[in-house]
Amino acid sequence: MGCQGCTVTDLRYTFQLSGEHNLSLIDAVYEFLKRNEIPVDQTNREITLPEHHVPEVINFFEDHLDIEQILFKTEQTEWTTLSELGNFLELSWIDEIILQERVECHYQPIIRSDGMLFGYELLARFKDAEGKAIFPNEAFDAARSRGRLYALDRMCRMAAVRHAARLERVKAFINFIPTSIYSPEFCLRSTMQLASKLNVDPQQLVFEVVETEQVDDVQHLKDILTYYKEKGFMYALDDMGEGFSTLEMLTGIEPHYMKLDRKYVTDIHEDQEKQRVALQFLTQARKMGTVPLAEGIETEQEYNWLKESGYVLFQGYYIGRPQPEPATIDALNF
């Protein structure tokens, strides 16, 4: 099975014309395209062409057609109104980020309850052509809008594996977005091959499901986690908290690690409701044989409460901020 979004190539746009006025001018549209030597695939109402020809075609549409009666889509997106096209085209900068692999990983430390270093979460950082930082959320939102989510997610996974190869005897937590993966066997093959090439021990890598509670297709997530497990890798679920709805549906492939959602960590030492959720989470993790990890710790009080309550692993600005180089245990904040 081929992947629909592995590589970044010139997008092809399909425009759908409707309305009496637009359809009456369809021959004039085809004549314009032919006269300007614009390669297209066409049916009675739809025209498909490469992205670099879109601006000149849109100019023609605006001059001659009723643009409110025109929809567009790409191979990776759904039909939407032409009024959204400008924003869509402006997001093409994400293609350059991916093509030029303008990504690096920062290391955020994770410690054990005895104060020893357990590992790092590898967090993607992006830069534009001038070297200015781009917020990760901005990059992933742009990729999602343009149908480039898998390509960006894959680039980040590969970069994280390369950064993990620098670590010795500690875990490397690597994020991935399950909705960006079409087929585990095909889409994750390159990640597995790179890890093998760099002699990274599969047990050193922990693939972390991003936005666990937002997963809709649980069977698809199961397939991905099963694939990781069969290849000898570990995995984690993040943003877990009250309800555990996802966990109940993942019976049989319990995660190696579960992260308590940071919203329950903030000021937990003085919030009884957050304490209730955190303790419930801890009980569930122990029942499943899963290692609980509290993330987003920013104060000594939060850290002490979680540690005294029985949490095993800890992550957050109080422990150490993400840095371009992996910090040693002596250099951490706490």
List b or e across 143-154, with b for residues whose CB sees 16 or more CB atoms inside 10 angstroms: bbbbbbbbbbbb
Do residues 290 and 85 lie in contact, with contact meaning Cβ atoms separated by under 8 Å? no
Q: Which two tokens stand for residue 224?
A: 């991905």
Closest by CA position to 262, among listed 232, 297, 235: 297
Residues 220 and 137 in one domain: yes
Question: Are 157 and 33 part of one and the same domain?
Answer: no
165 and 266 assigned to the same domain: yes
Domain harbouring 190, CATH code: 3.20.20.450
Q: How does pLDDT run along the chain (334 residues), one tens digit per residue? A: 344 455 667 789 999 999 999 999 999 999 999 999 999 888 879 999 999 999 999 999 999 999 999 999 998 788 999 999 998 999 999 999 999 999 999 999 999 999 899 999 999 999 998 989 999 999 999 998 888 888 899 899 999 999 999 998 899 999 988 777 767 776 678 888 899 999 999 899 999 887 655 667 778 788 888 888 888 889 898 876 655 555 666 666 678 999 998 999 999 999 999 999 999 889 888 888 899 999 999 999 999 999 999 999 999 999 999 999 998 777 676 6
Q: What is the 3-state secondary structure (H, E, C) of 30-86?
A: HHHHHHCCCCCEECCCEEEEEHHHHHHHHHHHHHHCCHHHEEEEECCCCCEEHHHHH
Does residue 184 fall inside a structural domain? yes
Q: Which of 26, 57, 90 is a domain's end point?
A: 90
Exposure of 289 in the CB half-sphere (CA atoms within 13 A)? 4
Owning domain of residue 69? 12-90
| Cα-based distances in Å from 141 to 72, 165, 235, 277 | 19, 28, 24, 30
Distances (CA, A) of 165 to 161, 194, 199: 6, 10, 8
Write the DSSP string, 80-122.
EEGGGHHHHHHTTHHHHHHHTT-EEEEEEEEEETTS-EEEEEE
**d(C-alpha 31, C-alpha 21), whole Å:** 16
Based on the fold, state whether residues 161 and 64 are members of the same structural domain: no
- pLDDT given for residue 1 in this prediction: 38
Same domain, 42 and 61: yes
Collapse the DSSP code of 154 into the 3-class scheme (helix H, G, I; strand E, B; otherwise coil) and give the result: helix
Same domain for 322 and 290?
yes
Q: What is the DSSP pairing of strand 70-74 with strand 12-17? A: antiparallel
Output the pLDDT for position 76.
Answer: 79
Length of the chain: 334
C-alpha dihedral, 62 to 63 to 69 to 72, nearest 10°: -40
Judging by DSSP bridges, how do beta strands 103-112 and 46-50 pair with one another? unpaired
Q: Residues 283-288: contacts with CB within 8 Å, 24+ apart?
A: 284/244, 284/247, 285/258, 288/247, 288/254, 288/255, 288/258
The whole-number pLDDT of residue 213 equals 54
Where does a domain end: 36, 59, 90? 90
Q: How many domains does one find in the chain?
A: 2
- CATH code where residue 41 lies: 3.30.70
Residue 158: name the closest of 191, 125, 122 by CA.
Answer: 191
Question: Based on the domain organization, do 193 and 301 belong to the same domain?
Answer: yes
| Last residue within a domain, chosen from 67, 90, 113 | 90
Is residue 96 one of the residues assigned to a domain? no
Angle at 24 between CA 23 and CA 30, to 5 degrees: 75
The pTM assigned to this predicted structure is 0.86
Residue type present at position 104: E
The reported pLDDT for the residue numbered 241 is: 62
The answer to the question of residue 202 being in a domain is yes
Domain identity same for 29 and 60? yes
Q: Residue 329: its pLDDT value, please? A: 72
- Cα separation, 193 vs 199, whole angstroms: 10
